[in-house]
Structure 1
Amino acid sequence: MDSYELVDLFAGAGGMGLAARGLGVPGVGIEWDKHACATRRAAGLATQEGNVRDFAPSDFPAANVLAGGPPCQTYSFAGTGAGRHALTEAQDLIEHMARREDITARLAQLEDERGHLVLEPLRWALDAIDSGCPYEAVVLEQVPTVLPVWQAMGDVLSAEGYSVACGTLRAEEYGVPQTRRRAVLIARRHGTATLPKPTHQPFNSKGSTPPGDPTLPRCVTMGEVLDRPEPFTVVSNYGTGGDPKARGRRTSAQPFAAVTGKISRCRVTAEEDADLDRLTASEAGQLQSFPKNYPWTGHDKWQQIGNATPPLLASHILTAALDLADQPALPTETMPSPHR
């Protein structure tokens, strides 16, 4: 393809859109949250405020690349009975969608509305195929527990003529200073779909030589991206169940744990456990690989940051999906020009 244009479903505060702009790919993001929309607009990203279900491919006729990261809360605890049921139900609905059957009644019976938002990217992809204007590429990402859903969608897209690659990526292997894992689907209408190759070694909390390519640089640390005197330690309560002894600790010589909307609760300490200033929104964004001066706006900045796709990871994913092998990765030091 000579040119690409992106439509980004559930676009959030702009991780995928920022990556696309850095790669010279114009596009628009659909997002319902007004605060995330305000941040996107402040960053100069084209934004359509509203519910993804109220739009269709025909509303964005110039777009030939589809991206999306639908809400994941329904699947975040796939080990529980409710999570397993949600995954099984989504996979069953995907089979009906592949046969072009009407699933409206089934969707109306779902207890959690977010459970069927995960199906929206497939609806868009199939609608585009049936209209005779299939997307050249489809890119999806979410929490690792959603991988079986992506694989089921991948089977449908393969049957429609796409080359598909699915897998789980580790953000720190792509230069992002945190150990976030994401389930990714890449589908290409032409050429062979492959996941991006790591640019950094994976993090090993035990300090020994991590697995992977030893010729690659080690993963990026918090101390390398945050403008703070070192050493410092970030103490989180992720997954502790309220037990203070189970709080996770990462030093400034390590990447952060997965950034969530609760990152503002993390303590930052110096030697001898002396408290320092807590992370700012700008710093939390930097741990997601957003530029330091990214214009976080509105009253829900922490959730916007936690929900965002790390733009540096998104840049690598898009580069692989669109076969832009010679394109540089997204710069993280300064904001790209909105007029690029």
Structure 2
Amino acid sequence: MTSTAPQQSILDRPFVLDLFAGPGGLDVAAHALDMPSLGIEWDKSACLTRYAAGLDTLHADVSRVRREDFETLPPEINVLAGGPPCQTYSVAGHGAGREALEEVKEFIHRLITNEPVEAIDRDLGRLSDPRTALVLEPLRYAIQATRSPNRNNRPFDVIVLEQVPTVEPVWEQYAKALSDKGLPDGTKYEVAFGVLATETYGVPQTRSRAVLIARRVGLGKPQLPSATHRAYEPKAWNRESNRPQGQGHQPMLDDGAGTSMPEARVERQEKAAKIPQQWRSMGDVLRGPIGTHPGRQKPFLVRSNYGSSGNPGRRGVRTDQQPAATVTGRISRFVVFEHLDENIVQEGPRFTMNEAGMLQSFPPDYPWRGTAQAQQVGNAVPPAFGMHLLSAALGLPRPDIEILRKPWPTATEEQQAKLRSHGCGAAHACTDRCPRAKDQVPPPSSRPRKTKASVKS
């Protein structure tokens, strides 16, 4: 399909503010589209990665910046973006956020109707897990922009949000609030939202995300980005019919998806007629050498019990001809088996952080730093997906994500010192204004995680 989007952005100079910026997925996407960005991130290690990647950063708590330092943000920022932490909404988490969905919806209504901030903050403090309230921060930033003397009370023009699929009802409530009543100052937005599969945008993994794109009224009605690749359908997968020539027979390890049936093949052919590009596989991005990555020349299998976006059919064993399971903080635990010949496999080296990042569509040689690097990779927005979201939000043509295949240069020590002076307050260390290390581990939910045993009882 050819894009019908205009060649010029709906904004003269897009400038992205990335809340909960992590190691830089949305920022990398913005830079690939030649847009400046500023990220706010409270995790020290993620900030170290960002500094090494040359990304403008504030090492700070998103909520505190809104309350105390909003006026220090560049007034030119006109695109608000972010992916609030998902632990309390994720199907892998304790579920405090999912259980509080109706309360969160009510808080959205209270914010839009301009209730006193003190009363809202007091009641938010009663949630069983304080991280649940972070999903409201983008709305609070949008409201704060209309009260900012530094911005002449100018609202953000565009809002782009993404989260786990279980947050879709929150985005739906956002959409109603922004389009029906609008912000307290009367600013209204036109909104599109839904759940998208990242492999349909060229990301070599199956990952479902609830997204929201909003444009201020007068800038045109937004649309979600159209898919560029076919969706991965476990039940339709057939290793034999999709095996690249010359690769030989592959042992049939059960991936929990079953075998392909005639009906599934017909459905796959119909979809292929509409979207010609096959989804991108692990082998597509890891097979050849690029940057310092030597390439994985041998066919391989990956076993994982994690990272399925709640879909059991997406778990199990996958070959290098399939997209990866959802890349999470457990990516370093994925077991990789290499083929010795047509019928024998043995355990091979596990994914490096460089490879894990590439499965997230980060450029090769992205400079991962600090601790918990696997968690940084797993928490990030896939840059290729971010490019599609930002392009759709700004009315740009379909992006060329191949630009992300170029190795990413590491910032010089001088550049990193300058970025850290701005982000932390000192060239080579954190300062009192940075979040404290002990505060970077959110308190566990007071609700115990439900297990099969507790459900049965």
TM range (shorter): over 0.9
For residue 293 of structure 1, the aligned residue among 365, 379, 383 is 365
CA distance in 1, matches of 2:64, 2:191: 27
- Give the match for residue 30 of structure 1: 40
Residues 1:20 and 1:239: Cα distance change in structure 2 (over 3 Å): closer
CA distance in 1, matches of 2:99, 2:171: 16
CA distance in 2, matches of 1:239, 1:222: 15
- Give the match for residue 400 of structure 2: 328
Of 83-92 and 167-176, more deviation after overlay is shown by 83-92
- Give the match for residue 319 of structure 2: 251
For residue 142 of structure 2, the aligned residue among 104, 108, 125 is 125
Distance apart, 1:84 and its partner CA: 3.6
For residue 105 of structure 1, the aligned residue among 122, 130, 154 is 122
For residue 390 of structure 2, the aligned residue among 318, 325, 328 is 318
2:25 is aligned with 1:4: no
Which protein shows a greater Rg?
A: 2
- Give the match for residue 157 of structure 2: 136
2:306 is aligned with 1:233: no
For residue 213 of structure 2, the aligned residue among 161, 186, 192 is 186
- Give the match for residue 376 of structure 2: 304
Distance apart, 1:326 and its partner CA: 6.2
CA distance in 2, matches of 1:198, 1:251: 23
For residue 132 of structure 2, the aligned residue among 99, 109, 115 is 115
Question: Is the 8 Å Cα contact of residues 7 and 28 (structure 1) preserved in structure 2?
Answer: yes
Distance apart, 1:336 and its partner CA: 5.5
Residues 1:239 and 1:306: Cα distance change in structure 2 (over 3 Å): closer
Of 1-10 and 266-275, more deviation after overlay is shown by 266-275
CA distance in 1, matches of 2:17, 2:42: 14
2:353 is aligned with 1:281: yes
CA distance in 1, matches of 2:408, 2:220: 30
For residue 170 of structure 2, the aligned residue among 146, 149, 164 is 149
Of 85-94 and 185-194, more deviation after overlay is shown by 85-94
Q: Indicate the SS of the match to 2:401.
A: coil
Residue by residue, what CA displacement relative to the aligned partner does 1:109-139 show, whole Å, maximum 9, x if unpaired? Answer: 1121100011100000112234431111000
- Give the match for residue 194 of structure 2: 167
CA distance in 1, matches of 2:92, 2:103: 12
Counterparts of 1:76-91 in structure 2, within 5 Å, are 76-77=90-91, 82-91=96-105
- Give the match for residue 330 of structure 2: 262
Q: Indicate the SS of the match to 1:216.
A: coil
For residue 75 of structure 1, the aligned residue among 89, 98, 111 is 89
Counterparts of 1:194-209 in structure 2, within 5 Å, are 194-205=223-234, 206-207=236-237, 208=265
2:158 is aligned with 1:158: no
Q: Which residue type is aligned with residue 110 of structure 1? A: L
CA distance in 2, matches of 1:260, 1:248: 15
Question: Is the 8 Å Cα contact of residues 22 and 336 (structure 1) preserved in structure 2?
Answer: no
CA distance in 2, matches of 1:274, 1:151: 47
CA distance in 2, matches of 1:47, 1:18: 13
Q: Which residue type is aligned with residue 201 of structure 1? A: R
Question: Is the 8 Å Cα contact of residues 176 and 287 (structure 1) preserved in structure 2?
Answer: yes
TM-score in terms of structure 1 length: 0.93
Q: Which residue type is aligned with residue 168 of structure 1? A: V
For residue 44 of structure 1, the aligned residue among 45, 54, 59 is 54
- Give the match for residue 217 of structure 1: 277
Residues 1:228 and 1:81: Cα distance change in structure 2 (over 3 Å): closer
TM-score in terms of structure 2 length: 0.70
Identity %: 48
CA distance in 2, matches of 1:78, 1:177: 21
Question: Is the 8 Å Cα contact of residues 98 and 166 (structure 2) preserved in structure 1?
Answer: no
- Give the match for residue 94 of structure 1: 108
CA distance in 2, matches of 1:317, 1:154: 16
Residues 1:301 and 1:315: Cα distance change in structure 2 (over 3 Å): same
Q: Indicate the SS of the match to 1:274.
A: strand
User: May I ask how many residue pairs the two structures share in their alignment?
Assistant: 334
Of 257-266 and 209-218, more deviation after overlay is shown by 209-218
CA distance in 1, matches of 2:27, 2:392: 16
CA distance in 2, matches of 1:305, 1:142: 15
Of 131-140 and 205-214, more deviation after overlay is shown by 205-214
